[in-house]
Amino acid sequence: MVILKQGFRQSQTWLHKWSGLLLGWLLYAVFLTGTVSYFQDEITFWMHPERHQADTRKIDLDAALASLQPLSQGAALLRLDLPTQRNPLLSASWSKEAGHRGVRQQAILDPASGRIIRDRPSEGGNFFYRFHFQLWHINLLMGRYLIGVATMFMLVAMVSGVIVHKKIFRDFFTFRPGKGQRSWLDGHLLGAVLALPFHLMITFSGLVIFAFLYMPWPIKAEYGDRTMRFFAEANPMPRIAEAAKEPMPLPALSPFLEKARQQWGGGTTAWVTLHHPGDRNAQIEVGMNDGRVTAVAPRLIYSAADGQLQQRLGKLKPVAQVARTLVGLHLGRYAGPLLRWLYFLSGLGGTFMVASGLLLWAVKRNGNAPSAQGWRLVRVLNVATLAGLPIAMTGYLYANRLLPDGLAARDHWEIHCFFGLWFLALLHAEVRPHGRAWVEQLFCGAGLLAAIPLLDWLAGHWHWPVDTSYREWLLPGFDLTCLTLGTGLGWLGWKVLRHPEGAGTDPARSPAAGDQELASPEATL
Amino acid sequence: MRLLAFCLIYAGFCCLCLSMSKHYRQVFGAAPSVPMSRLLRWAGWCLLLCSWGGWLLTDGGFIGSLLFIGLLPLAGLPVALLLPYRPRWPMYLASLGVAAGLLLLPITS
């Protein structure tokens, strides 16, 4: 029995170690970019200074439609996304094609005046968000598969981790500082066990989002080649009438919004879509936001001609409801400020867990790695990923402010800066001594992050909040968060600097006798 | 109410922590008696349960539970991090927090 138990735990150790290492770097990037994506709207707002002056106290949809008129002439679909607390602007998109699948053009408008804001092109927070689930510069599907594999291994690493570190619950409150590797392991376990419900939820729900990509066979078996029907049934879309090709002026929109609110019984309006605007068969679709988790907005579709309610969508079938609840939990779109911050902090905790795991892998194998070259590669990649990614991400923000205004494809250049900096971090980690590389990159990231408020202040974008509303705190909150994160990174750098061996990863130092739990679990049995 | 509910998680974790003889020794220098340890463990779980109840009252079943789960690490981490540096602080802070939460209850809720 004892042998069997040993064998099982040993195999789990192997699994935890290697699944953690091979996909750890990718998982770290996924965790970090995903974590900041909880503030995607806020990042996007920050990255468009032209939007900061917009008057967001009231909404005039008719003025917005008037100023869109010359642009969206002949559009078969025109959608207006109403301002929210987090994104206080009116976004318009339109398409020549009817239905919901056409290619769209977009504009951002000042909600009060309906004025179109001509802002610099930028992906904003969307870049981090997309990178989080499909990477960048590689095939979209490929990226999603890669991250799916990583996520599955994350789940494996988590389950095997609980088995490997079997004392995880007995050591629930154990933290022993100043003991090098031991402290890192304590931190790794503390981060893992305290937020275990969050980690399990976020990883599993992450898999559910693209489950149809990873396991397409059930849909194939049931629907054959008509897979789109599956999605239409899971998330019903409104039926759009054909255009009558007879003109009819569009009625005022505000009464429809009020009517939708009443007929749905509360909630706020998230968007209005006009199908065939200016036609006799025009339809007005109102999307509601009632704070539900599923992130599937209820829709009410009215006939523009007589104002009658034609369709009412929003009730999901039970299985779709379960799936969408998991997806909604992952996306956190429903979350108010407090819960959003908890998501963000838990995400940072997960990032720390992955990072400390990667560090431990390298530290454990001081001098007795299976291959010296492989071990060196791990350490270089550790620096370049763990310390390099924050530099690249912050550099992306700097590029947004510092690149010349007239630059062609400015939005692409912002992303080039991100990848360029990341590559430089890799080169730097390769040529510098290991301990120095850590310190220099951590301090570089810390300095860049902490100087974001300074950058804003110098550029004249800083303003003091006049009240405690979310809108007023969007920009100062962003700056203060950067300052705090920068300080945290600086503290880490300082810790490494003070440590004579640089992150405790000097090859000459052999692991202390009591520190071999990961390397040889049988020692603790 | 939310302040109190948060402090209750913290206090609950403190009790659970002290119910482990390793940490009890860290704080008081001696191992706890068996009934003491059992009492602390029960008190800890009860406090956590009370806190969960508090979140259910303030934010409803779904969001309340999520907030409760999300706040667990935020309350547990300071207990673990303070322990090696200032072993008695978590205990004092927990008492102070619950007292403040109770006193401020008329204002905050």
pLDDT at A2 over 60: no
> Chain B contacts of A177, Cβ < 8 Å?
84-85
**What pLDDT digit, counting tens, does each position of A149-196 carry?**
999 989 988 888 888 887 777 888 889 887 778 888 888 888 888 888
**What pLDDT digit, counting tens, does each position of A342-372 carry?**
999 999 999 999 999 998 888 877 666 667 7
Mean pLDDT (chain B) is: 91
**What pLDDT digit, counting tens, does each position of A124-153 carry?**
999 999 999 999 999 989 999 999 999 998
Chain A and chain B share a number of CB contacts under 8 A equal to 58
Residue A403, helix vs strand vs coil:
coil
Contact A173 B76 (CB under 8 A): yes
- For residue B76, the distance in angstroms to the closest alpha carbon of chain A comes to 7
Nearest to B71 among A174, A293, A342 (CB): A342
- For residue B39, the distance in angstroms to the closest alpha carbon of chain A comes to 18
Nearest to A342 among B70, B77, B81 (CB): B70
Q: What is the mean pLDDT of residues A34-38?
A: 96
Q: Which residue of B has its CA nearest to A195?
A: B73
Contact A197 B72 (CB under 8 A): yes
> Chain B contacts of A191, Cβ < 8 Å?
73
Contact B67 A170 (CB under 8 A): no
Q: Which residue of A has its CA nearest to B17?
A: A173
Q: What is the mean pLDDT of residues B91-109?
A: 86
pLDDT at A501 over 70: no
Nearest to A173 among B23, B69, B70 (CB): B23
Contact B69 A197 (CB under 8 A): yes
Q: What percent of chain A has pLDDT over 70?
A: 93
Q: Which residue of A has its CA nearest to B83?
A: A175
pLDDT at A502: 46
Q: Report how far apart, in Å, the C-alpha atoms of A92 and of each of A95, A104, A111, A248, A474 are.
A: 11, 10, 11, 22, 22
> Chain B contacts of A342, Cβ < 8 Å?
67, 70-71, 74
Tokens standing for residue A488 = 């945290």
* Residue among A25, A41, A50 at smallest CA distance from A107: A50
Q: Beta strands of A210-353 (E only): which ranges? A: 268-275, 283-289, 299-303, 309-313
The verdict on pTM exceeding 0.80 is yes
CB proximity A189 to B under 8 Å: no
CA dihedral A511, A517, A518, A523 (to 10 degrees): 100
pLDDT at A504 over 80: no
Mean pLDDT (chain A) is: 86
CB proximity A177 to B under 8 Å: yes
Residues listed for chain B: 109
Contact B80 A190 (CB under 8 A): yes
Contact A173 B62 (CB under 8 A): no
| pLDDT bracket for residue A511 (50, 70, 90) | very low
pLDDT at A6: 60
Contact A194 B79 (CB under 8 A): no
- For residue B81, the distance in angstroms to the closest alpha carbon of chain A comes to 6
Q: What string of DSSP letters covers A17-72? A: HHHHHHHHHHHHHHHHHHHHHTTHHHHHHHT-GGGTT---S---HHHHHHHHTTTS
> Chain A contacts of B23, Cβ < 8 Å?
173
* Residue among A438, A489, A377 at smallest CA distance from A21: A377
> Chain A contacts of B22, Cβ < 8 Å?
174
* Residue among A5, A28, A53, A11 at smallest CA distance from A347: A28
Chain A interface, best mutation among B1, B45, B72, by max A CB count within 10 A: B72
CA dihedral B56, B62, B64, B69 (to 10 degrees): 120
CB proximity A194 to B under 8 Å: yes
> Chain B contacts of A346, Cβ < 8 Å?
70, 73
Nearest to A338 among B17, B23, B67 (CB): B67
pLDDT at A103 over 80: no
CB atoms within 10 A of CB A384: 24
Contact A174 B71 (CB under 8 A): no
User: Strands A283-289 and A268-275: what pairing?
Assistant: antiparallel
Report the b/e string of A413-452 with b at 16+ CB within 10 A.
bbbebbeebbebbeebbeebebbebbbbbbbbbbebbbbb
Chain B interface, best mutation among A38, A168, A173, A293, by max B CB count within 10 A: A173
Q: What is the mean pLDDT of residues A432-453?
A: 95
pLDDT at A231: 82
Chain B residues within 8 A (CB-CB) of chain A? 13, 16-17, 20, 22-23, 62-63, 66-67, 69-74, 76-77, 79-81, 83-85
Burial class of A239 by CB neighbour count within 10 A (0 to 12, 13 to 18, 19+): exposed
Contact B72 A339 (CB under 8 A): no
Contact B76 A339 (CB under 8 A): no
The ipTM estimated for the assembled molecules is 0.92
* Residue among A423, A420, A383 at smallest CA distance from A398: A420
